[in-house]
A = this chain, B = another copy of it.
Amino acid sequence: MATITAPKQFSPVEDAENIKRACQGWGTDEGALIAILGHRNATQRKLIRLAYEEIYQEDLIKQLQSELSGDFERAICNWTLDPADRDAVLTNAALQKAVPDYRAIIEIACIRSPEELLAVRRAYRCRYKRSLEEDVASHTMGHIRKLLVAVVSAYRYDRDEFDTQVAHLEADILHEKAQEMAFDHEELLRILSTRSKAQLKATFNRYRDNHGTSITKGLSGDPADAYLAALRTTIRCIRDPRKYYAKVLRNAINTMGTDEDTLSRVIITRAEKDLKDIKELYFKRNNVTLDDALVRHTSGDYKAFLLALLGRDEV
């Protein structure tokens, strides 16, 4: 379930006017921006952006970028974007880093539905004049490249049915390759990148049944091996996205200095989807609510904005 709260009735024109007002004069009224944009769903934000463009002949995102700065600016701008376009921006940002953020790319490739992923690929082409897989391939190398290109290019079958024989057979193939430490074997990549999520979940369960351990344990080796970590991320994203996100949040918060990019990414992309469930898992594992953790580890407008997305406005 979602965490954001949005009014049923709203006026895009009024919102656009109030946003303009918050940006005019001395300083910006960040509280007003949060009160509006932090409480509008994707369709409403799209309508506000259209109204803003129509009234002021100016792109709302550009306006926000020129008024704000830092983590708050990046977060509220990404939040205001269309979901598919936002994922395109996030994957591009992940690729631009000195060491690409493989996790963000895998997350988008494996957690979005096959149709959503196509929409991201379309948005990416439109925005960057290159295909997503083209950029992934030119910014990465070796095994990681093979894995990433395969998962971003996939258009998996997405019904719930699966084949128990295939699950049995392929659980054994995965186990065999893990035993042989042949982590880059093409069969392993084929299975993880082409099978449907329902099929893979059945295969991962069969792995545990047949071999008494989880597949992610089977695929652990050198902790510094980025390719192995990417493989495990792929599996976790497919097996249980909420549990995966709860863990990502935990790491982002517990890291030295807080990893704001990751924190923003997860909260922004899940606030309208399943952030409520992720919050529950977070609390179960950490004995502290995500809201409280954010209050302690973030500050200012950035904190207020994240809390608004979490459905908690009193700061």
Contacts and interface: CB of A to CB of B under 8 A. Distances in A.
Contacts of A132: 155
A131 B149 contact: no
Given A146-B186, A149-B194, A194-B149, A155 B129 contact: no
A137 B199 CA distance: 15
A185 interface: no
A138 B173 CA distance: 13
Contact of A129 (B131, B157, B194): B157
Contact of A194 (B134, B157, B186, B194): B134
Interface string A125-158: 1000111111001100000011001100111111
Contacts of A125: 155, 157-158
A91 interface: no
Q: How many copies does the complex hold?
A: 2
A62 to B, nearest CB: 24
A156 B159 CA distance: 26
Given A145-B186, A161-B129, A190-B137, A153 B156 contact: no
Nearest to A134: B194
B129 A159 contact: yes
A131 B156 contact: yes
Interface residues of A, number: 30
A156 B121 CA distance: 10
Nearest to A136: B194
Contact of A121 (B131, B150, B155, B195): B155
A77 interface: no
Contacts of A194: 131, 133-134, 137-138, 149
A118 interface: yes
Contacts of A118: 118, 155
Contact of A149 (B145, B150, B161): B150
A130 B157 contact: yes
A196 B150 contact: no
A162 to B, nearest CB: 10
A131 B157 contact: yes
Closest A-B pairs by Cβ, 9 of them: A153-B153, A134-B194, A137-B190, A131-B157, A137-B194, A121-B155, A133-B194, A125-B157, A130-B157
